[in-house]
Structure 1
Amino acid sequence: MDIGKMKEDNTFYNGFEGEPEVDFMYGDLCLKIWDGYIYALMEKAPLDGKGWHGMTHDYHEFCGPWDTDEADVDSTEYLNDLKQYKSYTFEDANVTKVLDRLLDLFSKASKDNAKVHVVVC
């Protein structure tokens, strides 16, 4: 995917250059997030026996972008999955901020019935 016309938001990657990152691309935005923040979010995965879906499933089961390094994902499925994390408290306040940014991005894409391109690198 050509990101030449995209605005990169490195807020949650600054200071971690050279370490693993996950890029979420929708519209004209590329949101770069340090993998450590994604890990901190995903380690709160619900263990309610109802099965994982969305980003939680893909992350923990190494599917989608976590298997192929990049993929277009269903924004509504990821949005609904990420909403369940709103009730959690995270040690690092940046994880909550990352969650809020992801919810905003996936909400916009979902309203447009669009996919979000995710790159794991």
Structure 2
Amino acid sequence: MPTEIINYYDGFEGEPEIILTQKDGLTTKQIRLWDGYFNAIMNLIKVDPISGRWTHLAYYYHLHIGWYEEDSWQIPDLTSTLKQIHEIQIPETNDMDILVEIQYRIIHFLEDAISNNRTVCIHYE
């Protein structure tokens, strides 16, 4: 089974890694991220303005559940996760270019999974 990998972990070996994976019977696709990039993106997701609480992927991230507890945790609502990632406004910082690129890659990764009716799992190493 061929694996297509988008890698944002090289150079950070030995530090925590987040792996987003989607697969079907023929192909596996992954985005491999240094935990620091993933944390930077997750921390830019805003609290839901209606409920005043974290929702969807940000909920699991801020409560340290989901992929922190399970070896390969399936994102329960890809459409809401896509919306959250899409709404992130990345401020102008030294890491802005790489974070914008990663945000773009994650958005297209999730869109691909949704359009092909695939699940996406997160693995924390």
- Relative to the length of structure 1, the TM-score reads 0.83
CA distance in 1, matches of 2:65, 2:119: 16
Residue 82 of structure 2 aligns to a residue whose secondary structure is helix
Q: CA deviation at 1:82?
A: 1.0
CA distance in 2, matches of 1:66, 1:53: 17
Paired residues of 1:109 and 1:116 also in contact (CA < 8 A)? yes
Q: CA deviation at 1:100?
A: 0.7
CA distance in 2, matches of 1:98, 1:119: 17
Residues 62-77 of structure 1 aligned to structure 2 (within 5 Å): 62-73=64-75, 74-77=77-80
Paired residues of 1:66 and 1:120 also in contact (CA < 8 A)? yes
Paired residues of 1:53 and 1:81 also in contact (CA < 8 A)? no
2:39 equivalent to 1:39: yes
Q: CA deviation at 1:90?
A: 4.8
Paired residues of 2:17 and 2:34 also in contact (CA < 8 A)? yes
Q: How many residues align?
A: 116
- Matched residue, 1:79: 82
Q: CA deviation at 1:120?
A: 0.9
The structure number with the bigger radius of gyration is 2
Paired residues of 2:45 and 2:85 also in contact (CA < 8 A)? no
Residues 1-121 of structure 1 aligned to structure 2 (within 5 Å): 5-10=2-7, 12-27=8-23, 28-47=28-47, 48=49, 50-73=52-75, 74-85=77-88, 87-91=89-93, 92=95, 93-121=97-125
Q: CA deviation at 1:80?
A: 1.6
Deviations 1:26-68, CA, capped at 9 Å, x for gaps: 1321110000001111222314453222221111111211332
Residue 41 of structure 2 aligns to a residue whose secondary structure is helix
CA RMSD of the aligned region, Å? Answer: 1.9
In structure 2, stretches of 5+ residues that fail to align are none
In structure 1, stretches of 5+ residues that fail to align are none
